[in-house]
Structure 1
């Protein structure tokens, strides 16, 4: 495919960083892990960081470490990848889906408020496509009802809230997670991180990241010798490797440049696609700064006289990849069968899904390629 919808940026600095680590004494949990965690704290302003094997692992680890009571409910967006909700189900928490704002496509605080019950314990807003959700309003709801908050910022490392501060500082939440999948703003191959300002939560996540096992002498119930370890919780193997952390450190140095290029591409798309009566370009909310993980115009396929599949096929015939983000989670078979959710539960998210189409967006995309994509989209009509 000539122009895929997403692609990582890797250069000689990244290759050298990984190769240096391959030639070192450490491949798994070595010094690069701590360096990467500290660098993420320095970038976001959060006090603590735990890097892990994936964004999904980050979500699961954060929810598990909260140790919410069985039978609790958690609220997240209907417009997200399944992991946002799955992380609750893994921990015996019932996921409840709030609808989205029709302009930003982020979770709607009013819909959250309407779904809070006495069983609600957790809110997981999703910063869709890189645009921060309305965290001031969401944090106020959490304070009012005594709820925990985990920001799903898998799309949003490099974005900024209305006050100009970086997503991930956890001023509005108990924890914030990032994903470092290859199509995200920076990559470690696979990988993720949890940011937090809560020391106790941080310590629990450190323990659970590695099987719930510790060798810390201060935590051991006995200490017969240097081989000894104890399992203090039912944890998982969610560790990141030193090779991934080395790549992440190198990528993090380029993050602001990556985000600026993404924003420039979005501005160019918006100019080139303006005026089409059957297409609505994405809108950035006043005051926030989005890293734009995705470029998602909404297309009235009925007015266009094409199905979405036909439109995607026509683009593909011109060498242009596209994707759909996301199928509303509450319509997935497992969620319908397990909790009784289904079409009609989140009508705004469902209406958005009927028209959304993600176009190519990544830092290496050239201006000429952006023009090629835009011309192909315009030719659909």
Structure 2
């Protein structure tokens, strides 16, 4: 049978038509589609502003710069994330440290964060920015993190690369109720896609304008912000060093079309997760938790091999699944264990919850178009592996 991937995009005829319409139009870049997409996502999230860029990594970078992160500053994030959540601070000349995860939610532990803040305050080395990551689409405890931000004076960027469509309480992730900026990813395996692309939401007009400048070379055409009289329709001024992080019209049109089905796809992911919950509960696996009061976007469905209940290792289960045509994956290798970070201050540093989780985790197929038959096959293969029928015997 064909490989069942852990995630994939779903493209409709409406999506194809939206892209084709742009290709036939006058604008492939810097036209009306990008502002339209920004407005759709900002309105959906309940944010005042949206700034679209070419990737979530770019969005994290300019979010850090907009908040003034620079040399001598420190940003904190979690080890259980993709490297971009930490690298964005390095791009700014700052340093990075980590806060361990809660072993139940797999998100930044508010308790660990508070303990680390107390110690950092005593040492005079508080973070300038904290970047909590909504892992697998499950929102962090943003109310608690926001309270700590007020108490200790740091700024907050929500890395919601997994979490478009998620909510906590009655607010959508992206409303920035407890943060300065929220960043989304639209990579093909995410909830909706723009092929590649990202977007930052904020309630601050000042931060939005700053990020808009930074995504486009630091250039403005706003006469009110120029240093001398407008010389003509061609005139612009570079006010700062910026980057070419712009999103194209093609990407934005695809994103706007996809956004129309966002809630439908999140609901479908929950039906798939509910089926996994029912069908896997008897196996020696630790199943993911979905907290009351929050709605996960369910970008990933991650199980952990329970070493207390089986002699099989994660690697044995992983290899057997791949051999059976199921494209499982691992999210994530703890960032602090990467060679770059080991060579830059993380040698001998341990984050036990993140490391223990990594040793056990496997991401199962989770995407809106996953068929019931394919999901049943995934479950059947797992049952066979733990029963000793596949090539995962110890």
TM category, shorter? over 0.9
1:157 aligned onto 2:144: no
Note the C-alpha offset of 1:69.
Answer: 4.7
Corresponding residue of 2:383: 378
Contact 1:107 1:133 in 2 (8 A): yes
Range that drifts further, 172-181 or 222-231: 222-231
Instruction: State the TM-score, normalized to the length of structure 1.
Output: 0.97
Offset from partner CA, 1:187-237 (integer Å, 9 cap, x none)? 000000000001111111010010101121111112222222211111100
Corresponding residue of 2:267: 260
Corresponding residue of 1:348: 353
Note the C-alpha offset of 1:71.
Answer: 0.9
Contact 2:305 2:313 in 1 (8 A): no
Range that drifts further, 314-323 or 239-248: 314-323
Note the C-alpha offset of 1:173.
Answer: 0.3
Corresponding residue of 2:389: none
| Structure 1 SS opposite 2:360 | coil
1:327 aligned onto 2:333: yes
Contact 1:176 1:194 in 2 (8 A): yes
Q: Distance in 1 between matches of 2:308 and 2:114?
A: 34
Contact 1:210 1:237 in 2 (8 A): yes
Query: Which of the numbers 306, 324, 329 marks the counterpart of 1:318?
Result: 324
CA RMSD after TM alignment: 1.2
Gaps of at least 5 residues in structure 2 are: 387-394
Q: Distance in 2 between matches of 1:367 and 1:301?
A: 29
Note the C-alpha offset of 1:70.
Answer: 2.3
1:291 aligned onto 2:292: no
Note the C-alpha offset of 1:302.
Answer: 7.8
| Structure 1 SS opposite 2:211 | helix
Note the C-alpha offset of 1:357.
Answer: 0.3
Note the C-alpha offset of 1:341.
Answer: 3.9
Q: Distance in 2 between matches of 1:283 and 1:317?
A: 28
Q: Distance in 1 between matches of 2:106 and 2:324?
A: 29
Gaps of at least 5 residues in structure 1 are: none
Q: How many residues align?
A: 378
Corresponding residue of 2:390: none
Q: Distance in 1 between matches of 2:316 and 2:69?
A: 46
Corresponding residue of 1:220: 226
Q: Distance in 1 between matches of 2:5 and 2:310?
A: 23
Instruction: State the TM-score, normalized to the length of structure 2.
Output: 0.94
Q: Distance in 1 between matches of 2:253 and 2:347?
A: 42
Q: Distance in 1 between matches of 2:141 and 2:173?
A: 12
Note the C-alpha offset of 1:89.
Answer: 1.0
